[in-house]
């Protein structure tokens, strides 16, 4: 007769099929998101509720709802902000006209634009001042792209969304170009687009450093690192979160089926049929509490065994605006 295991599974555990969870790291909040949320919380602590926020501070409903509960009011445009209350601009950045309009109205505003987005803004300004036309690689309609286009006069930038756009674009002065990119793009797609631009316009000026931010690159690399070992991947993030959508694409391109979910309730257990190892990651605007919620929900149907696969350790922290440092 075989030896019995030291701790025999309970009846409930024995009935649940096994599921190995491979949890990517880094995942979830980046330094820019962390700073933006802190700015809203500290503004409420210092000035009292309500504090208005123009656009979702970061693209995550859970975060937005938590801040609403603390006294934040989210609006899309500045003219929805009443006189006399503080207003915060989101992490994605805003066109120059927005702080100018706030100042003209005498509004007290705090800018939660991620410093890495602000860096792209300053580069755009300088390039246009130097007489260069910018080919901007990004996704039309995303608030970060709207904010960056709003740093330069109309006509100063042309949007390049795809490799086909890069093949087609016909600038007036091909010898006087520069390119910049959105911070949350796919590293691989962007490399392809930039290679086309460099081949077509050998004199094009590149940004000083990489515009795709460290958090976006690290989260994509972490997904690539675990992809081959996973039968499927869940990405926790919002449908309007650019970096979360890119994580789904990275997993799928590596041959792993992937789904974006916002909360545990969206897990489709039929989709998990036959999956023995499930990868889990979270976009830069998704809090860790949602990762735990997903793991706990999976544990109601499976005997889960968790393992974290860390590809790089992040230590980035961004300074708060001086006016809030003592709040």
Question: Exposure pattern of 23-43 as b/e (b: 16+ CB <10 Å)?
Answer: bbbbbbbbbbbbbbbbbbbbb
One of 181, 184, 220, 244 touching ligand SF4 (CB under 6 A): 184
What track of x and - describes contact with ligand SF4 for positions 191 through 230 (by CB under 6 A)? Answer: ----------------------x-xx--------------
CB atoms within 10 A of CB 203: 11
CB atoms within 10 A of CB 258: 21
Q: How far is the CB of 188 from ligand SF4 (least distance, A)?
A: 17
Catalytic residues: 144
One of 23, 114, 197, 275 touching ligand SF4 (CB under 6 A): 114
Residue 92, token pair as written in the block: 């994605």
| Residue 116 found at the interface with ligand SF4 (CB under 6 A) | yes
Tokens 């500045």 correspond to what residue? 78
Q: How far is the CB of 99 from ligand SF4 (least distance, A)?
A: 18
Identity of the residue, 117 or 298, whose beta carbon is nearer to ligand SF4 in the bound complex? 117
Identity of the residue, 59 or 224, whose beta carbon is nearer to ligand SF4 in the bound complex? 59
Identity of the residue, 33 or 232, whose beta carbon is nearer to ligand SF4 in the bound complex? 33
| Residue 113 found at the interface with ligand SF4 (CB under 6 A) | no
CA dist., res. 278 & res. 165, Å (int): 36
Q: How far is the CB of 246 from ligand SF4 (least distance, A)?
A: 10
286 in Cβ contact with 24 (< 8 Å): no
Cβ within 8 Å of residue 239, ≥6 positions away: 245, 260, 262
One of 112, 284, 291, 294 touching ligand SF4 (CB under 6 A): 284
Q: How far is the CB of 116 from ligand SF4 (least distance, A)?
A: 4
Q: How far is the CB of 235 from ligand SF4 (least distance, A)?
A: 14
Identity of the residue, 241 or 277, whose beta carbon is nearer to ligand SF4 in the bound complex? 241
218 in Cβ contact with 26 (< 8 Å): yes
CB atoms within 10 A of CB 16: 15
CA dist., res. 58 & res. 276, Å (int): 33
Residue nearest to ligand SF4 (CB): 32
- Residues in contact with ligand SF4, counted by CB under 6 A, come to a total of 15
Identity of the residue, 113 or 277, whose beta carbon is nearer to ligand SF4 in the bound complex? 113
197 in Cβ contact with 224 (< 8 Å): no
What track of x and - describes contact with ligand SF4 for positions 253 through 272 (by CB under 6 A)? Answer: --------------------
**Interior angle at CA 38, CA 259 and CA 281, nearest 5:** 20
Q: How far is the CB of 287 from ligand SF4 (least distance, A)?
A: 13
| Residue 143 found at the interface with ligand SF4 (CB under 6 A) | no
CA dist., res. 20 & res. 261, Å (int): 19
One of 53, 87, 91, 250 touching ligand SF4 (CB under 6 A): 91
CA dist., res. 139 & res. 184, Å (int): 10
CA dist., res. 157 & res. 176, Å (int): 12
Chain positions contacting ligand SF4, by CB under 6 A: 30-33, 91, 114, 116-117, 183-184, 213, 215-216, 243, 284
């Amino acid at each position: 007769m075989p030896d019995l295991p030291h701790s025999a599974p309970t009846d409930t555990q024995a009935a649940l099929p096994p599921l190995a969870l491979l949890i990517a790291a880094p995942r979830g909040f980046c330094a820019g998101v962390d700073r933006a949320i802190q700015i809203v919380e500290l503004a409420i602590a210092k000035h009292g509720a309500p504090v208005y926020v123009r656009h979702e501070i970061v693209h995550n409903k859970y975060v937005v709802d938590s801040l609403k509960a603390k006294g934040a009011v989210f609006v899309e445009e500045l003219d929805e902000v009443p006189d006399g209350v503080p207003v915060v601009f989101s992490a994605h950045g805003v066109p120059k006209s927005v702080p100018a309009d706030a100042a003209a109205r005498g509004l007290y505003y705090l800018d939660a634009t991620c410093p890495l987005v602000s860096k792209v803004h300053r580069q755009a300004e300088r390039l246009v001042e130097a007489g260069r036309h910018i080919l901007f690689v990004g996704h039309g309609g995303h608030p970060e792209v709207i904010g960056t286009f709003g740093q330069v006069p109309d006509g100063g930038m042309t949007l390049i969304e795809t490799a086909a756009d890069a093949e087609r674009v016909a600038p007036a002065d091909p010898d006087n170009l520069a390119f910049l990119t959105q911070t949350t793009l796919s590293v691989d797609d962007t490399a392809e687009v930039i290679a086309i631009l460099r081949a077509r316009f050998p004199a094009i000026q590149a940004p000083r450093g990489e515009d795709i931010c460290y958090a976006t690159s690290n989260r994509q690399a972490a997904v690539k690192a675990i992809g081959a070992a996973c039968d499927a991947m869940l990405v926790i993030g919002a449908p309007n979160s650019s970096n979360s959508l890119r994580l789904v694409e990275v997993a799928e391109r590596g041959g792993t089926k992937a789904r974006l979910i916002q909360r545990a309730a969206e897990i489709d257990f039929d989709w998990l049929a036959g999956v023995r190892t499930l990868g889990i990651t979270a976009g830069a605007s998704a809090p860790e509490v949602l990762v735990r919620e997903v793991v706990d929900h999976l544990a109601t149907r499976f005997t889960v065994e968790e393992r974290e696969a860390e590809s790089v350790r992040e230590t980035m922290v961004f300074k708060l605006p001086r006016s809030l440092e003592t709040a």
